[in-house]
Amino acid sequence: MPELRKDPISRRWVIIATERAARPTDFKHEGIEVNDLDRCPFCEGREDRTPPEIYAVRAAGTAPNGKGWTVRVVSNKFPALRIEGSTQRTKVGLFTRMDGVGAHEVIIEATDHHTHLGLLPVEHVVQIIRAYLQRYRDLRGDARFEYALLFRNHGRTAGASLSHPHSQLIALPVVPKRVAEELDAAERHFGQHGVCIYCAILEQEQQGRDRLIFENEAFVALAPYASRFPFETLILPKRHEADFGALPPDQERLLAQALREMLHRLHICLDNPPYNFIIHTLPYRSEAKHAHHWHVEIMPRLTQVAGFEWGSGFYINPVVPEEAARYLREAIPAPMPVGPVSAGRPHGEVGDRMRDS
Amino acid sequence: MPELRKDPISRRWVIIATERAARPTDFKHEGIEVNDLDRCPFCEGREDRTPPEIYAVRAAGTAPNGKGWTVRVVSNKFPALRIEGSTQRTKVGLFTRMDGVGAHEVIIEATDHHTHLGLLPVEHVVQIIRAYLQRYRDLRGDARFEYALLFRNHGRTAGASLSHPHSQLIALPVVPKRVAEELDAAERHFGQHGVCIYCAILEQEQQGRDRLIFENEAFVALAPYASRFPFETLILPKRHEADFGALPPDQERLLAQALREMLHRLHICLDNPPYNFIIHTLPYRSEAKHAHHWHVEIMPRLTQVAGFEWGSGFYINPVVPEEAARYLREAIPAPMPVGPVSAGRPHGEVGDRMRDS
């Protein structure tokens, strides 16, 4: 019997196909194409092909916008939003518009075109986390911005148009719908129970343990009870904290470890799958520090989102979250591969037969 | 300057990339693969490969589950939900679960493996609409179901795993999140203004006309002001009606014409693109007939949904809706093609450069 599970935060129901649960090897994906090495603007030595750097981790004595960096942040050359303009809203009859004001930055994570966040040494990932934090904190100073969304697209299926390892940051003059929904639910729960709903979930999951995947002193990684996607993962700080920007320096390495560990396990379990991850945090101007709890959502992109999902806002997940957690728990980290990253299994159908006839 | 537009119903902001607006030919897609003809269970003469038919339009004198049909409805052989079971909800600590109870049916739209809804004669589409209505009305009788979602996936990118033309219907024991959101917004608007928000939008759009694409006596097709996707289209009945199931017989042909017309225009404009469409209607047990307004959402799948969209619930649309409407208005319907349908342009990158760096 398939099972319907409700996410208590988004109030979304997910259909979990418990009957013919898929295994990691059932998901054939396109692999991570690396076909743009010759024209990659993010490789070392091509710093003039990007807008000037905003932030960089550099070897002593090297000049900005030249070689010698480890992590480099630049403006997106084709930004979704522009930094100039006002946030004045205008009514167009029933509709509302404003200028597309915002910041759109790219965090180039390494000089190596072929690596990715799950394969880099933890010490390197610490540098990336510090770049996230520096940019996240800096953009808070622009009073026009209500939110800054950090995200990563890995692989063409996950929306990446360049294969060189990078994340992105988009600062917005409005609070994202998804974040507003989380915040509403968290405030409602706090109002009723006097406790942060994420803290309560963490406590429940640490007792049950069948959805836990990894933990260290400061972070827990788990498979959400109502996971939308096969092998979806949530990373939460153990101590209540609404604001990603408040990460204390002594937790930077622990976050880097948890993030790298989960991406590494996904890499092993699913043969370098396409994925997105996003960081959800308290909006810049929100006072609801008591209710929200910042977190990272990692979404492997192994199934298609189709009419049912678009029409309902619900999802069909062919992998039982407890099974996904078990696979990811048991994925023993292998030694770092030498040479180019696996390009994944050959092109084939995604495992979406459950959804269609 | 890019523009931020807010949808007044979903409260979702969309980034419209007005600066380097894409044209229809900028979207290269994979085309509609037809590689399963030999093993297609929906072709005529293979009726024994599907579960028994629930409904069919048949030539006089032909027997069920044999040749001689035009439109045929069967249960999905691999259903997302099962018809047996109870809708008892159980608490699992903070979470809620219930049996995966529901109906999952397939509407096989034609015997011809190579056609699709935008290429069939209007009279044939009328038969498909009647099949939708018959199944939609029939499932209302099962008191466990709160909603029945009709949807269509066209092409692998849009989640179809079989290329034979078909739609699907999933009856659910809960109201979909997306529908509940629409209903909340519609009721809020009705409470404030005493008028259906969809009727108000229709009135505004029929005055402005720059987002109108097509209309007949009973239906209007338009590009939504805050379209999430390039060439997204909305079909609305002109007269206020919340319930798709209440479609009067004299409007069946007009709905078939509007739907066929829009899918035909998309076919011409975008070279047989992958798409999803969904029908949103009043939940079976809702009393809010005054506020909601049933409609069809057509979503061509030309761009990738990536980290930004997953993390924000917002979208980046590289086509200005007024431009999309103009292209679709000016796509003069060509005569019906003879022989197999175009397989689209060669495989290539989707036009998502706006989103990524």
Per residue in A137-159, pLDDT (tens digit) is: 999 999 999 999 999 999 999 99
Hey, are the CB atoms on B4 and A352 less than 8 Å from each other? no
CB-nearest partner of A1 from B16, B85, B160: B85
Instruction: Single out the residue of B156, B140, B154, B153 nearest to residue B286, CA to CA.
Output: B140
The Cα of A351 is separated from the nearest Cα of chain B by a number of Å equal to 9
Q: How confident is the model at residue A322 (pLDDT cuts 50, 70, 90)?
A: very high
Where do we find the tokens 């208590």? A8
Supply the pLDDT for residue A333: 55
Low-confidence ranges of chain B (pLDDT < 50): 334-357
Antiparallel, parallel or unpaired: β B13-16 and B315-317: parallel
ipTM of the complex: 0.90
Are A151 and A279 in contact by the 8 Å Cβ rule? The answer is: yes
Supply the pLDDT for residue B355: 38
Hey, are the CB atoms on A311 and B278 less than 8 Å from each other? yes
The full 3-state SS of B52-113, as one line of letters, equals CEEEEEECCCCCCCCCCEEEEEEECCCCCCECCCCCCCEEECCEEEEECECEEEEEECCCCC
Task: Give the nearest chain B residue to A317 (CA atoms).
Answer: B80
Structural domains in chain A plus CATH codes? 3-330 (3.30.428.10)
Supply the pLDDT for residue A196: 98
- Predicted structure pTM score: 0.92
Supply the pLDDT for residue A21: 64
Q: Is A113 annotated as contributing to ligand binding?
A: yes
Q: How confident is the model at residue A28 (pLDDT cuts 50, 70, 90)?
A: confident
HSE at residue B63, side-chain half, CA atoms within 13 A, is 4
Q: Is B189 annotated as contributing to ligand binding?
A: no
Task: Give the nearest chain B residue to A5 (CA atoms).
Answer: B97
Supply the pLDDT for residue A44: 96
Hey, are the CB atoms on B100 and A1 less than 8 Å from each other? yes
Q: Mean of the per-residue pLDDT values for chain A?
A: 91
Supply the pLDDT for residue B161: 87
Q: Say which residues have a Cβ less than 8 Å from residue B261's Cβ, sequence separation at least 6.
A: B214, B221, B333
CB-nearest partner of B312 from A156, A178, A356: A178
Tokens of A229: 């996607």
Chain B residues with CB-CB distance to A151 below 8 A: 306-308, 310-311
pLDDT tens per residue across span A86-129? 999 999 999 999 999 999 999 999 999 999 999 999 999 999 99
Are B283 and B179 in contact by the 8 Å Cβ rule? The answer is: yes
Chain A residues with CB-CB distance to B311 below 8 A: 149, 151, 176, 178, 276, 278-280, 297
pLDDT tens per residue across span A282-305? 999 999 999 999 999 999 999 989
CB-nearest partner of B78 from A168, A204, A354: A354
pLDDT tens per residue across span A198-219? 999 999 999 999 999 999 999 9
Supply the pLDDT for residue B122: 97
Q: Is A240 annotated as contributing to ligand binding?
A: no
B166 has catalytic annotation: yes
